[in-house]
């Protein structure tokens, strides 16, 4: 024994010393240590400050239920992770850890002044204090709360680590590798099914790793674990997953597992992810998640040096660490007696065992008594002392009245407590299984399953080793069978182990009656005391869900793993109602705090979403285009020349297109090929327009409604043959248009002989627009006569351009003579470059989506999603002409006949001209009739599009205005923070109203 480390005991590797730092001081531990065990081996108990009162806190548990020992880990900000449980952090050479929630240091913390104000920080403090006056919220309360709130600190740099996500399937997933889990895994593995076994700890074996006396099949528990793991590892159908937490259960046996891969490595291979999210679909699940030891609730039970008895046993047996020199034990169950013997063997003096029970008896009690340890039955802890570490305990015997008598003070540096065990039913509850309260065990146990799972061992309240193993094996066999794999034979085990029984205690131990001023902690992490819970009840809270939210008990990052049952017990006792009537708070994922990293996975930066680029994208990028996001697409927004801002570039692009010729990448337009003998009939039903008489080789602008009568999409449609249409849709609308068409076709009109194929990405689309467009294209085209006579506006021809096949549309979204050249996508860039080269003598200018928007707005062409918002009818948008009046039916037609759809005061599309021509309205701005009216004003419309028109040398806007068409010629007002802007309502067309240019 040197210091607090045993010379031989435990599973740490003494040949591999490890140096790490905690709060700037360097310590040594061994490979196999957790940060908690290594700190304890160095005599460090004080590891953090509590959340609310900044009380000094120490290590309480040895597992993922740790409420106190939360630390920040990471040598630099890019690798910093807050709120890591020291009990789960494996140490390595160079590990840098720091305590949290203290300033300037752990030993002297200014925030501990909250302790002085503790009487004012009672349950519901926020709700009661920060109420009035309202103005204090923004400047006083919120900053104050924000500064005090939050646990740990967020790193200041982006996470430098990799995280991956992977899907996997198995027949049986076993969660937990303690005795029940290993037995289940062995039983399931022999059937040949695909078995996954995960455990949150670095070593598999669970409670058996700290077991020193029990034997299984003639082997020590640890040797049996080693043999079982070797057996499993040798089987190709078994995957062992240590350091892997099953944190969430999602519908249909889909579980989220977080595998920690590099956190324990001093020098991690940079190719490895830090963590891997396993998304596992398991045919059957065996939950072998064990049980968590419950603290006892007594005054000042939160000092450093107060620890769970079983945790102390784990530190002694598994890590060879002596958590103190002289211990007092406070218990309500037999397992603490087992711990006492193990700790005594590890060199800890056991001053006394205070047992809450009046007459404890059984083999463990006998063994302790014969070891010479004093046992005080019917005794409670009434208080503790010690500033940064416990130095004494007051004990008192509980009298017949149920209250403790006079106290006796006993010096110690360690106080171990055990209130019995709480089955870990978190995942079962997440799977929506019904929990049933077991009065005898004072525990909620798994009841009826909803998903395909079974709980085995301690997590279903079975604690004796022989029963745990046989229950585990039966669960493994049963799960494999349910997954379709028959078991060869039953696995049995022979064990020697004394039962530690099932005694325990929930609630608050008697220490001076409900009016006692003593503070006995129920929730260590959120600093909730028995007094807080009692106050909540006095104030009328009854349901545990309300008590929880009012006091915040169970709401910290540990989700009340150590506190929930004691809170329930206290509420039950205070209200004098049975525990089940108090209710149970819902267990939700994640079981333990989980990094954002694994939820993001590889979806970071440019990989966050598919970043769709057209075949012409790279050309635009090389030209220095600015891009904008349109749905998932990157589209060239404008092509700035040196020194140009967006306004200058757009003005130049507009003038060039109207004056000569522009070239525009329209490849993102959605495209659908509609083929079959009933194609025209299908088009008639889907669109408002009539299609029957459209001749092959002609185009038509089509409007599509939803069944509720509102505009859903629009686009130009070409009839390629009697039985073949080439539809274009908006860029963002392509998937939903195709989906809606498929829906009608598959489910309403399956008799139509027509089929749909998306061709969005088959074609690159190059728009050539402007008075010189024909001149540019003519020399490049084979087999198509581009002349006005042979190919009028709104026609389509097939032929070749630059030697490759094309569908050439004569169409204009600019109001100029225009063509849209469709070529197979793989030729898109080459054809674009050929056209661009041919256009240079004619002053051809590339333009982006902003210029496209301005040019179309000058012509009053709407953009679905800009002029429409899902509440706009064709008539509202000025598209009444596109409705085939003679058609008996089309999608949305009946809705257009509803009274509200034909009301005269509907918002209608109009043009707006600001009286001051230089003022450009803001899109989205509201429109009123009279700006002098009192606030709130009656809003009669809004601006949908607004631009500076270089062509017209003035601003233009489109707007939806109530009864707008009747207001043409009148003046309205657009109130803005700087004052109202007066506008004149005009027809929504600003340029070449007769359309002579596009017919050129």
Partner 1 sequence: MLLITCPHCGPRAELEFAYAGEAHIARPTDPMALDDESWARFLYHRANPKGLHAERWRHLHGCAQFFNVVRDTVSDSIVTTYPAGQPRPALPGDDKGATR
Partner 2 sequence: MPDLIQRQGALDRFAAAPRNIPAAALSVLPDSARLSFRGRPSAIDAAGAAFGVALPRDACRFAVKRGRTAFWLGPDEWLLQSEGEDPATLFADMSGKLAGQSCSLVDVSHRSQAFALSGPQAAYVLNHGCPLDLSLATFPVGMCTRTIYAKATIMLSRPASDIFHIDAWRSFAPYVWQLLDEARSELA
Which CB, 125 or 254, lies closer to partner 1?
254
Which CB, 623 or 746, lies closer to partner 1?
746
Report residue 330: phi and psi, to 5°.
-120, 120
Question: Which one of partner 2, partner 1, none is in contact with 804 (Cβ closer than 5 to 8 A by kind)?
Answer: partner 2
Distance CA 127, CA 535 (A): 14
- Compute the least distance from the CB of residue 760 to partner 2, in Å: 8
Q: Are 724 and 674 in contact (CB under 8 A)?
A: yes
> By CB under 8 A, is residue 803 in contact with partner 2?
yes
Give the torsion through C-alpha atoms of 306, 311, 316, 317, to 10 deg: 170
Specify which residues 711 forms β-bridges with: 705
- Alpha carbon separation from 844 to 169, 367, 457, 464 (Å, rounded): 57, 98, 78, 86
* Best CA proximity match to 818, nearest among 850, 859, 782, 874: 859
Give, in degrees to the nearest 5, the angle at Cα 119 between 115 and 124. Answer: 105
Q: Are 557 and 593 in contact (CB under 8 A)?
A: yes
Specify which residues 796 forms β-bridges with: 809
DSSP secondary-structure letter at 175?
Answer: E
* Best CA proximity match to 380, nearest among 335, 321, 330: 330
DSSP secondary-structure letter at 385?
Answer: E
Give, in degrees to the nearest 5, the angle at Cα 639 between 634 and 641. Answer: 150
- Compute the least distance from the CB of residue 610 to partner 2, in Å: 4
Contacts with partner 2, 144-173, as mask; x by CB under 8 A: ------------------x-xxxxxx----
Dump the DSSP string for 310-327: HHHHHHHHHH-B---SEE
> By CB under 8 A, is residue 761 in contact with partner 2?
yes
Neighbouring residues of 496: CB distance < 8 A, sequence distance ≥ 6? 214, 215
What are the structure tokens assigned to 148, written together? Answer: 């005090």
Helices (H) and strands (E) in the chain, counts: 25, 51
Which CB, 585 or 595, lies closer to partner 2?
595
Q: Are 981 and 921 in contact (CB under 8 A)?
A: yes
Question: Which one of partner 2, partner 1, none is in contact with 637 (Cβ closer than 5 to 8 A by kind)?
Answer: none
- Compute the least distance from the CB of residue 617 to partner 2, in Å: 9
> By CB under 8 A, is residue 888 in contact with partner 2?
no
> By CB under 8 A, is residue 279 in contact with partner 2?
yes
- Alpha carbon separation from 89 to 33, 78, 262, 539, 690 (Å, rounded): 9, 18, 11, 41, 70
Question: Which one of partner 2, partner 1, none is in contact with 162 (Cβ closer than 5 to 8 A by kind)?
Answer: partner 2
> By CB under 8 A, is residue 610 in contact with partner 2?
yes
Which CB, 739 or 871, lies closer to partner 1?
739
- Compute the least distance from the CB of residue 346 to partner 2, in Å: 41
> By CB under 8 A, is residue 127 in contact with partner 2?
no
Distance CA 565, CA 587 (A): 13
- Compute the least distance from the CB of residue 175 to partner 2, in Å: 20
Which CB, 9 or 756, lies closer to partner 2?
756
Give the torsion through C-alpha atoms of 932, 934, 940, 941, to 10 deg: 80
DSSP secondary-structure letter at 611?
Answer: -
Helix axes 179-189, 465-482, angle to 10 degrees: 40
> By CB under 8 A, is residue 123 in contact with partner 2?
no
What are the structure tokens assigned to 246, written together? Answer: 């099953």
Q: Which stretch binds partner 2 (CB under 8 A): 375-383, 461-469, 652-660, 801-809?
A: 801-809
* Best CA proximity match to 863, nearest among 966, 732, 690: 732
Question: Which one of partner 1, partner 2, none is in contact with 884 (Cβ closer than 5 to 8 A by kind)?
Answer: none
Question: Which one of partner 1, partner 2, none is in contact with 748 (Cβ closer than 5 to 8 A by kind)?
Answer: partner 1
Q: Which helix (H) or strand (E) holds 204?
A: none
Which CB, 698 or 736, lies closer to partner 1?
736
Which CB, 708 or 798, lies closer to partner 1?
708
Q: Which residues in this chain contact partner 1 in the complex, by CB under 8 A? A: 167, 250-254, 279, 281, 432, 450, 707-708, 739, 742-744, 746-748, 750, 888-889, 893-895, 897-899
Span 186-215, contacts to partner 2 by CB under 8 A: 194
Distance CA 892, CA 810 (A): 29
- Alpha carbon separation from 528 to 9, 27, 564, 683 (Å, rounded): 37, 33, 11, 67
* Best CA proximity match to 711, nearest among 871, 851, 855: 871
Span 721-760, contacts to partner 2 by CB under 8 A: 753-760
- Compute the least distance from the CB of residue 251 to partner 1, in Å: 5
Dihedral sign of CA atoms 768, 773, 776, 780 in order? positive
Question: Which one of partner 1, partner 2, none is in contact with 392 (Cβ closer than 5 to 8 A by kind)?
Answer: none
Which CB, 830 or 901, lies closer to partner 2?
830
Which CB, 118 or 830, lies closer to partner 2?
830
Total residues binding partner 2 (CB under 8 A):
55
What are the structure tokens assigned to 320, written together? Answer: 């060879």
Q: Which stretch binds partner 2 (CB under 8 A): 232-240, 331-339, 605-613, 933-941?
A: 605-613
Which CB, 213 or 746, lies closer to partner 2?
746
Question: Which one of partner 2, partner 1, none is in contact with 732 (Cβ closer than 5 to 8 A by kind)?
Answer: none
Distance CA 929, CA 23 (A): 67
Span 245-274, contacts to partner 2 by CB under 8 A: 271-273
Q: Helix H segments across 234-350?
A: 309-319, 335-345
Question: Which one of partner 1, partner 2, none is in contact with 166 (Cβ closer than 5 to 8 A by kind)?
Answer: partner 2
- Compute the least distance from the CB of residue 739 to partner 2, in Å: 12
- Compute the least distance from the CB of residue 838 to partner 2, in Å: 9
Span 814-843, contacts to partner 2 by CB under 8 A: 824-831, 834
Which CB, 408 or 762, lies closer to partner 2?
762
By three-state DSSP, how is residue 899 classified?
helix
- Compute the least distance from the CB of residue 198 to partner 2, in Å: 17
Which CB, 278 or 524, lies closer to partner 1?
278
Span 612-651, contacts to partner 2 by CB under 8 A: 612-615, 632-633
- Compute the least distance from the CB of residue 620 to partner 2, in Å: 14
Which CB, 349 or 804, lies closer to partner 2?
804
* Best CA proximity match to 281, nearest among 192, 183, 196: 196
Question: Which one of partner 2, partner 1, none is in contact with 895 (Cβ closer than 5 to 8 A by kind)?
Answer: partner 1
Q: Which stretch binds partner 2 (CB under 8 A): 206-214, 300-308, 540-548, 669-677?
A: 669-677
Pick from 804, 929, 952, 966: which binds partner 2 (CB under 8 A)? 804
- Compute the least distance from the CB of residue 515 to partner 2, in Å: 58
Query: Which residues make up the interface to partner 2 (CB under 8 A)?
Result: 162, 164-169, 194, 271-273, 279, 281, 602-603, 607, 609-615, 632-633, 673, 675-677, 753-763, 779-780, 802-805, 824-831, 834
């Amino acid at each position: 024994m040197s210091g607090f480390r045993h010379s031989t005991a435990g599973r740490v590797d003494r040949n591999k010393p490890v140096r790490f730092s905690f709060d700037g001081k360097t310590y040594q531990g061994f490979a196999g240590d957790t940060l908690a065990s290594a700190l304890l081996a160095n005599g460090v108990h004080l590891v953090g400050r509590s959340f609310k009162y900044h009380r000094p806190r120490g290590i309480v548990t040895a597992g993922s239920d740790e409420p106190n020992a939360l630390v920040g880990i990471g040598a630099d900000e890019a690798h910093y992770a807050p709120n890591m449980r020291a009990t789960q952090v494996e140490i390595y050479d160079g590990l840098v850890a720091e305590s949290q929630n203290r300033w300037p240091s752990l030993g002297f913390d200014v925030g501990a002044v909250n302790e002085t104000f503790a009487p004012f920080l009672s349950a519901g403090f926020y709700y009661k204090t920060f109420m009035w006056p309202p103005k204090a919220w923004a400047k006083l309360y919120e900053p104050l709360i924000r500064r005090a709130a939050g646990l740990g600190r967020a790193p200041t740099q982006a996470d430098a680590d990799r995280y991956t996500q992977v899907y996997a399937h198995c027949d049986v997933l076993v969660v937990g590798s303690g005795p029940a889990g290993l037995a289940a895994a062995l039983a399931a593995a022999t059937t040949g099914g695909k078995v996954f076994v995960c455990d949150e700890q670095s070593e598999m074996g669970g409670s058996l790793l700290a077991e020193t006396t029990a034997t299984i099949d003639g082997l020590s528990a640890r040797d049996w674990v080693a043999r079982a793991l070797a057996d499993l590892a040798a089987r190709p159908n078994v995957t062992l997953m240590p350091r892997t937490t099953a944190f969430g259960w999602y519908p249909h046996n889909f579980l989220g597992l977080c595998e920690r891969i590099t956190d324990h490595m001093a020098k991690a291979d940079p190719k490895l992810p830090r963590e891997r999210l396993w998304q596992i679909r398991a045919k059957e699940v065996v939950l072998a998640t064990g049980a968590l030891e419950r603290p006892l609730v007594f005054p000042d039970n939160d000092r450093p040096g107060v620890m769970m008895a079983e945790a102390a046993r784990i530190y002694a047996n598994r890590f060879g660490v002596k958590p103190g020199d002289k211990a007092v034990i406070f218990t309500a169950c037999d397992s603490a007696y087992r711990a006492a013997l193990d700790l005594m063997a590890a060199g800890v003096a056991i001053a006394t065992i205070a047992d809450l029970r009046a007459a404890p008896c059984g083999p463990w009690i006998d063994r302790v008594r014969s070891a010479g340890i004093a046992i005080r039955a019917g005794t409670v802890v009434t208080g503790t002392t010690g500033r940064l570490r416990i130095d004494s305990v007051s004990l008192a015997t509980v009298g017949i009245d149920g209250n403790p008598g006079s106290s006796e003070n006993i010096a110690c540096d360690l106080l171990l407590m055990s209130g019995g065990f709480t089955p870990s039913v978190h995942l079962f509850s997440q799977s929506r299984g019904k929990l049933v309260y077991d009065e005898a065990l004072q525990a909620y146990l798994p009841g009826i399953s909803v998903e395909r799972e079974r709980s085995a061992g301690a997590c279903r309240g079975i604690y004796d080793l022989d029963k745990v193993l046989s229950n585990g094996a039966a669960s493994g066999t049963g799960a494999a069978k349910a997954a379709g794999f028959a078991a060869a034979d039953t696995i049995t085990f022979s064990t020697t182990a004394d039962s530690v029984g099932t005694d325990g205690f929930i609630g608050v131990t008697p220490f001076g009656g409900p009016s006692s001023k003593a503070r006995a902690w129920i929730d260590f992490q959120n600093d909730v005391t028995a007094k807080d819970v009692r106050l909540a009840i006095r104030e009328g809270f009854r349901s545990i869900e309300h008590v929880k939210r009012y006091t915040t008990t169970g709401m910290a990052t540990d989700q009340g793993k150590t506190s929930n049952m004691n809170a329930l017990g206290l509420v039950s006792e205070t209200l004098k109602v049975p525990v089940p009537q108090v209710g149970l708070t819902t267990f939700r994922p994640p079981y333990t705090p989980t990094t954002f990293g694994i939820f993001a996975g590889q979806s970071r930066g440019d990989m966050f979403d598919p970043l769709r680029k057209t075949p012409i994208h790279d050309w635009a990028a090389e030209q220095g285009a600015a891009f904008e996001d349109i749905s998932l697409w990157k589209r060239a927004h404008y092509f700035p020349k040196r020194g140009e801002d967006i306004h200058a570039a757009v003005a130049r692009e507009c003038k060039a297109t109207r004056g000569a010729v522009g070239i525009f990448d329209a490849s993102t337009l959605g495209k659908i090929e509609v083929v079959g003998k009933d194609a025209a009939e299908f088009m008639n039903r889907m669109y408002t327009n009539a299609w029957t008489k459209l001749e092959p080789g002609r185009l038509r602008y089509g409007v599509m409604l939803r069944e509720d009568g509102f505009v859903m999409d629009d686009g130009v449609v070409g009839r390629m043959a009697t039985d073949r249409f080439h539809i274009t849709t908006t860029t963002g609308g392509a998937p939903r248009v195709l989906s809606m068409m498929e829906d009608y076709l598959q489910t309403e009109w399956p008799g139509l002989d027509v089929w749909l194929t998306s061709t969005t990405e088959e074609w690159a689309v190059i728009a050539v627009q402007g008075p010189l467009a024909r001149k540019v294209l003519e020399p490049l085209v084979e087999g198509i006569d581009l002349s006005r006579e042979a190919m009028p506006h709104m026609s389509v021809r097939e032929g070749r351009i630059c030697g490759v096949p094309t569908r050439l549309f004569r169409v204009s979204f600019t109001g100029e003579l225009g063509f849209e050249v469709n070529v197979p996508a793989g030729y898109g860039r080459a054809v674009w470059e050929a056209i661009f080269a041919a256009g240079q003598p004619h002053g051809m200018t590339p333009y982006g989506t902003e210029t496209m928007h301005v040019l179309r707005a000058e012509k009053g062409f709407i953009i679905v999603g800009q002029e429409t918002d899902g509440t706009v009818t064709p008539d509202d948008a000025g598209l009444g002409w596109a409705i085939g009046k003679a058609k008996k039916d089309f999608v949305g037609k009946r809705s257009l006949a509803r009274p509200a759809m034909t009301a005269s005061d509907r918002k209608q599309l109009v043009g707006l001209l600001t009286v001051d021509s230089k003022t450009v309205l803001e899109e989205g701005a509201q429109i009123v009739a009279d700006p002098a009216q009192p606030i709130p004003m009656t809003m009669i419309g809004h601006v949908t599009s607004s631009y500076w028109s270089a062509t017209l040398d003035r601003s233009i806007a489109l707007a939806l205005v109530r009864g707008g068409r009747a207001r043409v010629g009148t003046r309205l007002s657009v109130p803005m923070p700087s004052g109202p802007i007066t506008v004149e309502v005009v027809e929504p067309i600003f340029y070449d109203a007769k359309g002579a240019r596009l017919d050129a």
